[in-house]
Structure 1
């Protein structure tokens, strides 16, 4: 039990350090907008280093002593810390839907943490090898990378600031970060080599694919996370990222590591209910962000429409003036022609009278 509590403590500490890294990345964007480019670069580098080094090291310790399925929900504690710090440090607005989403994520985390698996299984080398070469593993990885390909397709077609792009970035980074089964199995092999001999473990092929996978999942998510934190507010991006990471972690631990196989059915049901509650919190958040973007678009359209109305009114006034001037000129020309015709008629009448007088004489 001591090791389980230690693992939970390390996992929670990891969420705090991860959040510090994310906040620094977001803060670098705000500094760029203010023109402080040197400080922005320093903040960005510090955030990436903290996220890439401090968090993964704490995760290694946590997953070495506690089940992955138990630790998975505690990753969403990042959302709680973010809700308290983002309005204060980043001047972001904590709206009612965001509060509701954070509460749902917190409740789901508690339920999943209480009813999830608590027993840390002791693996042998053969157990780890059987899990890695099982048919479940390539099927899971194929589905995972298919989702990654779909997300990258969405990213390439959506502009910055679009909510769907933000969700795709957060879920992509979270899905990559949440695959902790490589870290879990790698740490089990380290313990096995400590109990037996290093040559029996590290002289085989098994540790190296797990090491490559652990490094890939730990580093690749930083690219998408950094992009997401620089384009979207932390209250939105952190919630999507942590929710996706937690669900992916729980699913991978259940499918690949089979950590839920020995649990009673009612515990499995409540554990799944906690995960669904976290997903509901993410859905509430995403819906509120869509609504906010839609309202902003309507306000922008109304502003543009009002501006166009003013321009049209000016154009109509100019057109009316031009028409009036043209009509006046035409009327004056017609009147001049009429006067000239009258003068010609009078001149002809006068000439005729003179001719008659001459004939009479």
Structure 2
């Protein structure tokens, strides 16, 4: 990788056109030349936090491929910058690009705890596990400043309501005090995403995420505190991390994880263009091989939307990956089981305190 050809600390290396916009923006050569002459930076590469005010915070999940009924996202966009992230496309709905905008324009929902509490207090609401976050990471760098995720966890604890968490950031350990209280009543489960044991691979795939060492330590600390952990080996990308399935499973099992899950990478919408541009810059020696193998998993295309196929793929390479995961589960998780969360307490605590009469 040529360090002069990349934008440091970012996954995407360009802003692709927003398919919902008639107009597009580009940096012209004459503008770049002007900046060079004037000694100015054409792109300051700064992260912006922008407040947004949605009317609701919990979404019903209708996809049969996703193991959740409800999700909530405190942030839209994600500074982690994972190049493969399926959530990039959702940034276009907000008027931004799925490329660099997704990593640098973070939309912050400061009213999330209030909106969550309003929902949990409704007489019509029946407890189902709500997952933070189904789209972007609830413990991304913005959480250090805004602490919205922590405030939402306190709401879940107050109303004794089950919550699932998906993250790849060790920042979750900041909230160990609340998580331990939730775990006492079997009200929390954590999903940690670990895509590789190689720091070099992590740095190019997920530039602003926690190190692999920190993530494995996070699994260990949570597990030792009786907080159930599932590890997502996701996504599996042929010829990038597909050879690591068994060692990854072994490492997370030894750290205390109760189960693993996986997906095979799919590059829908704008992500195909973003990923293709990235891999030709980051891994030019194997770019074509990787792209062709991804296509092999999805009927000859990078894009896969069919329910039942999009997460697991099809074809010879996909079968090899899926068979390896099955073997990993048999080898390292044979006597382990992920718990089912408790939905029985919330009704009693709906008014915020235990009813005695």
Larger Rg: 1
Q: Pick the TM interval, shorter chain.
A: under 0.3
Greater relative CO, 1 or 2 (CA 8 Å, sep 6+): 1
Whose helix fraction is larger, Structure 1's or Structure 2's? 1
Instruction: Normalising by structure 1, report the TM-score.
Output: 0.24
Instruction: Normalising by structure 2, report the TM-score.
Output: 0.24
